[in-house]
Structures are given as C-alpha cells and as structure tokens.
Amino acid sequence: MSLEERLVSDTIFVTRRIFDETLNYLAEHVVVEGNDTDRVLSSDELQAGAADAAGILSMVTDRIDSQLMDSCPNLKMVANFAVGFNNVDLDAASERGILVTNTPGVLTETTADFAWALLMAAARRIVEGDRLVRDGKFTAWGPRMLLGHDVHRKTLGLIGMGRIGQAVARRARGFDMDVIFYDPYPVPAEVVDKLGARSTPLEELYRTADFISVHVPLLPDTHHLLDDDAFAQIKPNAVVVNTSRGPVVDEQALVRALEAGTIAAAGIDVFEHEPQVEPGLLALDNVVLAPHIASGSHDTRLRMSMLASENLVCGLRGDRPPNLVNTEAWEQRKQ
C-alpha cells in the first residue's frame, strides 16, 4: 500500500461542526467522521466517536487526556483548533508518540481587534448606553450621563508581549498611548523599539497603566495571575481586558474589585469555568461580557479550521506538521 493510499484509509474524528471547505479538503485525504452539531461532546461520546481514529481535530472545549488516548489505540495525532492547547495532556501525548498541533498566527489580528473593541466598550460604557436606549430610558442628553474614560493619550499596560500583545500595541499607537508591557520572556529589542513600548516589572505596570490587556498562555504560574493582590495594586480608574484564558483571572477577585471600585471596569471574553460565568459578574454594569468570540470572524475561523486540517493531513502523511507543539513526540517517532 502506498503512503497516499494508507493516508486515505485513515479515519479522523472532528469533534464539532466546522466549515464545508475544510471538510471537503479533509475528505480528499482521509475518511472523515465526527460531530456535525455545535454541541460539546461528553467524555464518553468523544471516546466512542474517536475510538478508531488515527487523528482528532479537537476544539479547546474538548479534554484530550490520557484516558481518551488509551481508548483510541490508532491515535497518531491531535490537531487543536486553537492557539492554546491546555485542553490537551501534552505529557501523555508525548509518552504515546501522539503529535499535537495548534493554530497560531492566523488569529492574531482578529483577536487584537476584539481586545481593542472590549477596551473601548468598557471604557466608554457602550453596552450600558445600548441598554439604556433599548429600555426606553434615554429621554434627553445630559452633561453627566454615562461618563466613561478617555483612551487617547493614556497608558496601556500589556501583560504578555507575544503576537497578540504586539498587535494590540500597534493599535495603541493610533490613539497616541504610552505602551508598557510585562513579559517574563525576552522580547527582541527591535520589536520593542518599533512599537515604541517599554518593559516594566509587573508591579509597576499595575500601578501605572490606565488600561491593562492580558495576553498570556494558561500555565501554572499564570493561573490567577490577576487576583486580589493584583487588583489592589491597579489604579482605581483602570480598565482590565482579558482575551487570553479565563483562569488567568480570579473571577471572584474581579467581582470584588469591580463592586468596590478598586478598578473602574473590565472587558472579559473568556471565563474561569467556561461556559459557566461567575454570577457576580452578571449582576454588574461595569463589565462587558463576551462569549469567547475574540477570534470569531468568518475569515479567521475558516483559516484556523484549514490550518488545523493541514496540520492533521501533514502529520498523518508522515511529515512533521508546521505547528507541532510537542516536538519530543516527533523525535520519539524518528528513533
């Protein structure tokens, strides 16, 4: 059997409904099975559906753990439809020689657009204003009605200066903002100079930024990075935006900070126990809540879908996928 014939005989399992263009591409290379709805599958359903699969095209909502991997004896690859991959047990995958990929780069600008949209909406109280008009409570213009916070010529603090953080920094230049950032990893000097940004310790960023936008992966040392102690250091007129991962922010601490006026407002796209939302957030007017849609433009989600599929086909063909996360699994295969 030729390599291409073997590839076509491989079955892949797609965990959620995706784009027709992607399914058509996959069908040219593999046998496609999967969930054709938008419903998140239970662990049992996922195990049953992927039992014979050589590859899984997974979503960030799917838990790909050792139990699932052991229930899928033919599994060679997991292509995650996301930049993050904290839903996949990388150690377990590497131990079993299962390749794991993600979809970086393609959603950078779209996510930065949305982070900026949340920043503006929270600062200028746009959602509150929309609700006021729809509820028929806008009876006359008033000089103190729904006063928000200026964005131009203020200080933007970025926690994380990777692709998305840099993209948000570029947008800040159009608002004549001072940009400061904290990143535990080195950022090339030419990038920092081009953006006109300045690196600061995290504590200084908390004390000086008028707007804080979070762009870090979920790791043990970023879990609850923004907690009660962090919010106590942030300026009371500051707006905090999170489009990274929900558990980076302690939601109960955020509620306390918003209720007490420790910070002015927040814009949140991701949640600690998604899709559940901390009830205290739902009761507050000074937070804008979005249902994890920072990358949610048609063009970007289609590109993510195609990239995940291309990674999958590449890996099942026996080539190193371009967006391989666990390189140790690839090295193990080559031994």
Same domain, 36 and 89: yes
Same domain, 270 and 328: no
Q: Closest Cα partner for 185 from 212, 209, 221, 213?
A: 221
Q: Tokens for 172?
A: 């800040």
Same domain, 19 and 60: yes
Provide the annotated active-site residues: 245, 274, 292
Same domain, 148 and 261: yes
Same domain, 89 and 115: no
Same domain, 89 and 181: no
Same domain, 175 and 282: yes
Expressed as residue numbers, the domain containing 193 is: 108-289
Q: Closest Cα partner for 215 from 287, 134, 295?
A: 295
- Convert the pLDDT of each residue in 217-270 to its tens digit: 999 999 999 999 999 999 999 999 999 999 999 999 999 999 999 999 999 999
Q: Which pTM value belongs to this model?
A: 0.88
Question: Which CATH number does the domain housing residue 215 bear?
Answer: 3.40.50.720
- Convert the pLDDT of each residue in 53-83 to its tens digit: 999 999 999 999 999 999 999 999 999 999 8
Q: Provide the residue-wise pLDDT of the chain in tens; the chain has 335 residues.
A: 455 555 557 999 999 999 999 999 999 999 999 999 999 999 999 999 999 999 999 999 999 999 999 999 999 999 999 988 989 999 999 999 999 999 998 999 999 999 999 999 999 999 999 999 999 999 999 999 999 999 999 999 999 999 999 999 999 999 999 999 999 999 999 999 999 999 999 999 999 999 999 999 999 999 999 999 999 999 999 999 999 999 999 999 999 999 999 999 999 999 999 999 999 999 999 999 999 999 999 999 999 999 999 999 999 999 999 999 999 998 877 65
pLDDT at 1: 42
Same domain, 72 and 189: no
Are the CB atoms for 97 and 90 separated by under 8 Å?
no
Same domain, 153 and 16: no
pLDDT at 7: 58
Same domain, 84 and 171: no
pLDDT at 209: 98
Q: Which residues contact 47 (CB under 8 A, 6 or more apart)?
A: 67, 68, 71, 72
pLDDT at 237: 96
pLDDT at 8: 58
Same domain, 224 and 254: yes
Query: What's the 3-state SS for the chain?
Result: CCHHHHHHHCEEEECCCCCHHHHHHHHCCCEEEECCCCCCCCHHHHHHHCCCCCEEEEECCCCECHHHHHCCCCCCEEEEECCCCCCECHHHHHHCCCEEECCCCCCHHHHHHHHHHHHHHHHHCHHHHHHHHHCCCCCCCCCCCCCCCCCCCCEEEEECCCHHHHHHHHHHHCCCCEEEEECCCCCCHHHHHHHCEEECCHHHHHHHCCEEEECCCCCCCCCCCECHHHHHHCCCCCEEEECCCHHHECHHHHHHHHHHCCCCEEEECCCCECCECCHHHHCCCCEEECCCCCCCCHHHHHHHHHHHHHHHHHHHHCCCCCCECCHHHHHHHHC
Same domain, 135 and 274: yes
Give whole-number Cα distances, 200 to 158, 166, 249, in Å.
10, 15, 20
Count of domains observed in the chain: 2
